[in-house]
């Protein structure tokens, strides 16, 4: 459950203040309800960070709501034996699938898409779901269709321990360390949900969601002082916010043991820059709020599908038919981590190729997020956006936006990198000159999740 705390002065937002970020709009729980096991040391940590002289403007107060028994359970992943059959049984207890026969297998279920959830989300919640465990989270999506998603308290809390397990897989142990924050989730936008909390299942160490936008802080140097004091063991964010750490010189006061990037594509050059700045593993996580994390990588290779309750198919974008292994198609996910939203064959709107990795694991190659965009070259050939990605990364771009208008003209903006080299590479790829300009920082491409590719020519 998320409830409001303090917020920014609306006068400073130039009339752009949004009601959902206003203080006190949904304050419904006490601290004892937010953290049932909160001990004096945990309470002291909360008080310290809530009242820190350099703290940002906390807009919300939120806790994990875990009992002692739940806090112990979430430290361990869910068992995988027979999970798909169990998952389909849960799905049949929803209104959406009440007509599915008892012995139906996965392929018998039709695919669904975000629009189905927007139109009737309640139809996908099991009729016997324990709603006392429900939190709610918002997902704005990339297409403007917002969702209020029922999150399960244990599933949300287990997400922190997934990060710990991934760090351990790279040889980096994460243990409670003095008064260092366990994790800070970073965003960079004019208005954002921000809060400080404690992780009940991790020795009640502090965690936070921080907005790096300068307007969120009480003074010009407060952001640097606060981060230096918190020095989180785990940093997570999207490429825009992680790049801001480096561009603002904040990497000088931080010593993360591991960094996680998600929500939008992380370019190879930016990942290399983050690795060099922090000298630690950088995990690029692919997932959606609806499905939770799906796959991860630590290099430029395919994403490795996680060993958890997630099943990935790659289907024809227009039919419920699998494409041959290695061919591009739409990524479709069956997600069984959240008992309040047992999704079956969910069309993500993302595209990629399903491949088998050297060790036999399943991977997703050439993932281009929500856009399977193709650009029309001067000779009429269609050029997939992955080829533009390869060229832009080769010339050092850390982020980009490429748009082709109805007349075929291509306008590109890149953050960092070799402007002349990138322009020449795109021109050679598309067979005609490209109008390209370079900006200094990823944030200069726009706040939030700027679209990387758009094409208005007929495909």
**CATH number, position 427:** 3.30.300
Residue 456 confidence (pLDDT): 84
Q: What is the pLDDT of residue 146?
A: 58
| Cα 347 from Cα 363, distance rounded (Å) | 17
* Domain end (from 257, 285, 313): 285
Asked if residue 296 is part of any domain, the answer here is: no
Q: Is residue 108 part of a domain?
A: yes
Count of other CB atoms within 10 angstroms of residue 184:
24
Closest CA to 405 of 362, 449, 375, 366: 375
Domain boundary at 237, 260, 285, which?
Answer: 285
Sign of CA pseudo-dihedral 271, 311, 117, 157:
negative
Q: What is the DSSP string of 46-59?
A: HHHHHS-TT-----
Pair (200, 277) in one structural domain: yes
Structure confidence at residue 1 (pLDDT) = 41
- The tokens 């990935």 sit on which residue? 312
State whether 417 and 434 are in the same domain. yes
In a domain, 150, yes or no: no
Max CA distance (Å), the chain: 70
15 and 104 in a single domain? The answer is no
Q: What is the secondary structure of 227-296 as a DSSP string?
A: HHHH--SEEEE-HHHHHHHHHTTGGGG---SEEEE-SSPPPHHHHHHHHHHH-S-EEEEEEETTTEEEEE
Q: What is the per-residue burial (b if ≥16 Cβ within 10 Å, else e) of 74-102?
A: beeebeeeebeeebbebbbebebbeebee
Are 160 and 58 found together in one domain? yes
State whether 94 and 68 are in the same domain: no
The residue among 237, 233, 363 whose CA lies nearest residue 306 is 363
Name the one residue in this structure whose structure tokens are 């990339």: 142
49 shares a domain with 15: yes
Q: Looking at the domain assignment, is residue 290 inside a domain?
A: no
Whole-number pLDDT of residue 169: 96
329: left (phi over 0), alpha (psi -120 to 50) or beta: beta
Same domain, 27 and 132: no
Residue 265 lies in a domain: yes
161 and 201 Cβ atoms separated by less than 8 Å: yes
For position 448, what pLDDT does the model report? 54
In this prediction, the residues of the chain whose per-residue pLDDT falls under 50 are 1-12, 14-18, 24, 141-144
**What CA–CA distance (Å, rounded) separates 37 from 200?**
7
Range of the domain at 451: 374-455
Instruction: Give the per-residue pLDDT at 2.
Output: 45
Please name which of 218, 230, 275, 238 lies closest in space to residue 254, comparing C-alpha atoms.
230
- Domain assignment present for residue 293? The answer is no
Tokens of 27: 């304050």
Q: In this structure, is residue 294 part of a structural domain?
A: no
Closest Cα to residue 86, out of 362, 337, 320, 345? 337
Report how many domains make up the chain: 3
In angstroms, rounded to a whole number, what is the distance separating the alpha carbons of residues 341 and 209?
24
CA triplet 161, 165, 166: central angle to 5 degrees? 115
Q: Are residues 250 and 398 in the same domain?
A: no
Contact (CB, 8 A) for 276 and 344? no
What pLDDT does residue 238 have? 85
pLDDT at 459: 59
446/308 same-domain check: no
The set of long-range contacts for 388-391, using a CB threshold of 8 Å and a minimum separation of 24, is 388/426, 388/429, 388/453, 389/265, 389/452, 391/422, 391/425, 391/426, 391/429
- 177-200 pLDDT, tens digit each: 999 999 999 988 767 789 999 999
* pLDDT score for 123: 96
User: Is residue 94 located within the same domain as residue 134?
Assistant: yes
Considering the domain architecture, whether residues 168 and 259 belong to the same structural domain is answered as yes
Q: Within a domain: residue 126?
A: yes
Residue 41 backbone phi and psi in degrees, to 5? -65, -40
Last residue of a domain, one of 233, 253, 285: 285
Whether residues 343 and 422 fall in one domain: no
Cα–Cα dist 142/371, whole Å: 10
């Amino acid at each position: 459950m998320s409830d409001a705390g303090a917020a920014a002065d609306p006068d400073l937002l130039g009339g752009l203040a949004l009601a959902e970020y206003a203080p006190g709009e949904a304050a419904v729980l006490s601290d004892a309800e937010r953290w049932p096991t909160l001990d004096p040391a945990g309470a002291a940590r909360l008080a310290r960070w809530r009242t820190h002289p350099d703290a940002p403007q906390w807009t919300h107060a939120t806790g994990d709501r875990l009992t002692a028994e739940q806090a112990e359970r979430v430290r361990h992943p869910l068992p995988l034996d027979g999970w798909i059959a169990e998952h389909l049984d849960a799905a049949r207890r929803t209104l959406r699938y009440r007509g599915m026969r008892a012995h139906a297998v996965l392929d018998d279920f039709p695919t669904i898409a975000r629009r189905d959830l927007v139109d009737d989300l309640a139809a996908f919640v099991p009729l016997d779901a324990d709603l006392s465990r429900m939190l709610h989270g918002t997902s704005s999506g990339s297409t403007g269709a917002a969702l209020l998603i029922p999150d399960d308290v244990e599933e949300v809390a287990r997400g922190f321990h997934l990060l710990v397990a991934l760090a351990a897989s790279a040889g980096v142990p994460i243990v409670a360390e003095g008064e260092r924050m366990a994790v800070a989730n970073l965003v960079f936008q004019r208005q954002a949900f921000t809060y400080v909390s404690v992780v009940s299942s991790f020795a009640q160490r502090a965690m936070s969601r921080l907005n790096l936008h300068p307007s969120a802080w009480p003074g010009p140097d407060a952001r640097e002082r606060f981060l230096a004091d918190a020095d989180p063991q785990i940093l997570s964010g999207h490429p825009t916010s992680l790049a801001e750490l480096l561009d603002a010189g904040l990497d000088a006061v931080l010593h993360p043991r591991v960094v996680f990037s998600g929500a939008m594509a992380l370019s190879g050059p930016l990942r290399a820059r983050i690795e060099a700045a922090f000298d630690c593993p950088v995990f690029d996580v692919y997932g959606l709020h609806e499905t939770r994390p799906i796959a991860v990588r630590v290099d430029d290779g395919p994403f490795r599908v996680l060993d958890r309750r997630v099943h990935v198919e790659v289907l024809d974008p227009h039919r419920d038919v699998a494409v041959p292994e290695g061919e591009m198609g739409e990524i479709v996910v069956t997600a069984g981590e959240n008992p309040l939203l047992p999704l079956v064959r969910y069309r993500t709107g993302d595209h990629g190729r399903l491949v088998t990795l050297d060790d036999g694991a399943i991977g997703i190659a050439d993932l281009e997020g929500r856009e399977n965009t193709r650009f029309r070259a001067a000779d009429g050939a269609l050029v997939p956006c992955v080829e533009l990605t390869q060229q832009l990364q080769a010339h050092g771009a850390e982020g980009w936006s490429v748009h082709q208008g109805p007349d075929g003209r291509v306008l590109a903006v890149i953050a960092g990198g070799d402007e002349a080299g990138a322009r020449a590479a795109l021109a050679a790829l598309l067979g005609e000159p490209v109008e390209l300009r370079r900006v200094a920082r990823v944030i200069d491409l726009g706040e939030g999740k700027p679209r990387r590719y758009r094409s208005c020519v007929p495909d």
